[in-house]
A and B are shown apart, each in its own frame.
Chain A
Amino acid sequence: MTLLNLSLLEQAVLLLAALVLFTSFALLSQNRLVASIHIFAWQGALVGSLTALVAAAGGDSHLYISAAMTFVLKALFIPWMLHRLVRRLELDRHVGVLAHPALVMIAGATLVIFSYWVSLPIGRLELAATRNIVAISLAVVLLGLLIMVVRHTAVIQVIGFMSMENGLFLAAVAATRGMPFVVELGVAFDVLVAAILFGVFFLQIRESIDTLDVDQLNRLTEREEDR
């Protein structure tokens, strides 16, 4: 069965999922902090509209609520909060530089291939569409992880973290038509609290080490204790 046999709505879902993956790569390569926040907002908006499309395709009414929640939380609230914090901490002109951009991009592409390899056995159960979605969402999760590894600014690490959440949500929505509603509510609540706590942390980190470069957080190592 090829992808062309899918209904238009389902094809649109796949297209949006691919765009989400694209924004992950954009996040990975973007050096400017404010631009990263904007890309993250776009990613949230894409995940939100994808949820709405799945709801339209499957007819699950509770997915519309999740779509609205995602949109408000991931595309509006969290980017707005990050934006405000960045301005308050006077980081709006911050530009982080990747040490080895080419290597990082290749690593990102490798992660995508790896995700497809992991989800290969899942394809036997279902349509090729599901396998694509599972692979893409796993790739978004892993790319979020990669962003957290290669970037040293606390704000970008948070964006990486939240983009992992986007990947998870994508998996839940597209592969399983959404988790039970109570779980989705709980997850959204956790994300909201986490976002607020991250804001608190930026201020605490700034207060304690006078920068948001988390590489400076290096007091607690085993080596230091041997001194």
Chain B
Amino acid sequence: MTTILLPLLTPLAGIFVLIFIRSVAIAGWVNLVVSIVTFLASLSLALHIFKVGPWASEMLHVDALNVYLILLTAFIGMSTSIFSRPYMTYVCDQGMTTPAGMRLYHAMYQGFMFTMLLALTTNNLGVMWVALEGATLATVLLVSLYRTPEAVEAAWKYFILCGVGIALALFGTVLVYFAAQHSLSDVSQGLTWTVLYQQASTLDPTVMSIAFVFLLVGYGTKVGLVPLHQWLPDAHSEGPTPMSAVLSGLLLNVALYAVVRMKMLTDGALAGTDNYDLAGHMLMGFGLVSFLVAGLFLHSQRDIKRMFSYSSIEHMGLMTFAFGIGGPLATFGALLHMLVHSLTKSAIFITVGHAAHIAGTQAIDHIRGLIRTQPAVGWGLLIGVVAIAGFPPFGVFTSEFLLLTATMETWPWLTVALLVGLAVAFAGLFRHLHPMVYSAAPEDQQAVPANMIPVAVHLALVLWLGLAIPPFLSSWLDQATQLISGEHLL
């Protein structure tokens, strides 16, 4: 019990400590320490689960599907806080925000980590909703941290769109509870996921399919599925860069995790009916549209952070599509893709933060010659983009290859759409990337202090996952595949 509570309580305590620390320098260090402790606690939780297997209580549960996401969340939270300390000190020194803003930033950084971990570990669908809404509330003031008109607009859009979306998800949750009341003997457990999952086949299929529509639209807004994605590029581009890294690397994943949990319930309820694949088909449709549309939008971007947020939408679309296909191979690929995409994308955002400081702007047209000015940042960006575009030997290639194979087996003609989408996205990324890293640097461009260790570690992990998946991870991914699709892959 302590093992599972510790990763939750550490960031919660962090909020209350950090809100009282006035010194920006000390707060940065405390934030880092809290994040490290959270990561160590998650690591010990993961080891514990690896030894004893899934664990569930009335309020919390950890199984193969969420344990690796908990570890990933805590890890990215830690490495981003390493990056965030010098970066945000620089931002504060430049006068872009005030010490009071920094206090809010650090406290809400931990607040966001808490809501993410709570959404992952909770065994109650209602609490999961509360945590995801809490994540919006924690990050919305950070998006407007710089107080420029653009930042305020982005935050307002983020607040309204995600708020409305998530309200629809709550309606879906109420409907699930309504369905549960008619089939479960103990009504008070009507939102407990482990109970619902066991008895999913007794839930009323009609109510569950209506509920799933609301849940998909609701949580899909947070995943950034087209056409509900409008908030995402704005929030990512206007907020502080560490926030972009964790929003892209963690929030989207956790929202998708919520969708997948709901799909598992809906699949169980619809198993015996004519529409048994309703949830899967809806995910495939939303996913494919997001994937293709976001790939096209990559071409017309002028802001580097906006460009990479469209790349996030594209990858979330691909994962949603893969979960929609459903078989063990596609599910395994999607789970692996969640992992490698988060690692790569947060590394890219960290590098982009440094690149924007070097050039003094986020406009792609004015970021030039990164490799000449600061080779570490230039190469970091180049390798990161090579990885995210799906080149071997990086992990993204492995997962995308699995997804393509799975598509070939189930919906062969959709492979064409996927390949075209991948090529379009690749072209969109590289036409902007090439001048940014290679061309001649403007004369007065200076290197900035940059800590590239988190980026190197992330990219090394992605490379490792591309070459060989460690056995503990593959066994978790396989168990999670079994939970979601009903069959083992390995």
* Interface pair B134/A225, CB less than 8 Å apart: no
Find chain B residues with CB under 8 A from A161 CB.
Answer: 160, 163-164, 167
B57-87 contact mask (Cβ, 8 Å, vs A): 1 or 0:
0010000000000000000000000000000
* Interface pair A138/B302, CB less than 8 Å apart: no
* Interface pair B297/A222, CB less than 8 Å apart: yes
The number of chain A residues with a CB under 8 A from chain B is: 51
B192-210 contact mask (Cβ, 8 Å, vs A): 1 or 0:
0000000000001011001
Q: Which of A137, A145, A172, A207 has the most CB of B within 10 A?
A: A172
Of the candidates A124, A172, A189, A204, the one whose C-beta lies within 8 Å of that of B144 is A204
Query: Is A208 on the interface with B (CB-CB < 8 A)?
Result: yes
Would you give the shortest CB distance from B163 to chain A, in whole angstroms?
Answer: 6
Query: Would you list which residues of chain B between 125 and 147 have a CB under 8 Å from chain A?
Result: 126-127, 129-130, 133-134, 137, 140-141, 144, 147
Would you give the shortest CB distance from B258 to chain A, in whole angstroms?
Answer: 15
Q: How many A-B residue pairs have CB under 8 A?
A: 142
* Interface pair A118/B210, CB less than 8 Å apart: yes
Query: Is A205 on the interface with B (CB-CB < 8 A)?
Result: yes
Query: Would you list which residues of chain B between 274 and 301 have a CB under 8 Å from chain A?
Result: 297, 300-301
Query: Would you list which residues of chain A between 199 and 227 have a CB under 8 Å from chain B?
Result: 200-201, 204-205, 207-209, 214, 217-220, 222, 225-226
* Interface pair A180/B207, CB less than 8 Å apart: no
* Interface pair A182/B127, CB less than 8 Å apart: yes
Question: Which residue of A is nearest B144, CB measured?
Answer: A204
* Interface pair B178/A175, CB less than 8 Å apart: yes
Find chain B residues with CB under 8 A from A187 CB.
Answer: 126, 129-130, 170
Q: Which of A118, A167, A198, A201 has the most CB of B within 10 A?
A: A201
* Interface pair B177/A179, CB less than 8 Å apart: yes
Query: Is B157 on the interface with A (CB-CB < 8 A)?
Result: yes
* Interface pair B133/A168, CB less than 8 Å apart: no
Find chain B residues with CB under 8 A from A217 CB.
Answer: 149, 152-153, 156-157
- The CA-CA distance from A187 to B188 in the complex, in Å, is 17
Question: Which residue of B is nearest A171, CB measured?
Answer: B174
- The CA-CA distance from A179 to B237 in the complex, in Å, is 37
Question: Which residue of A is nearest B137, CB measured?
Answer: A193
Query: Is A16 on the interface with B (CB-CB < 8 A)?
Result: no
Of the candidates A138, A190, A207, A214, the one whose C-beta lies within 8 Å of that of B156 is A214
Would you give the shortest CB distance from A202 to chain B, in whole angstroms?
Answer: 10
Q: Which of A119, A180, A226 has the most CB of B within 10 A?
A: A180
A171-B175, A186-B134, A225-B301 given; name 11 further pairs at CB < 8 Å: A121-B210, A161-B160, A161-B163, A165-B167, A167-B171, A176-B177, A183-B124, A208-B153, A219-B149, A219-B153, A220-B237
Interface residues of chain A, those whose CB is within 8 Å of chain B, are 118-119, 121-122, 124-126, 134, 137-138, 141, 145, 148, 154, 157, 161, 164-165, 167-168, 171-172, 175-176, 179-180, 182-183, 186-187, 189-190, 193-194, 197-198, 200-201, 204-205, 207-209, 214, 217-220, 222, 225-226
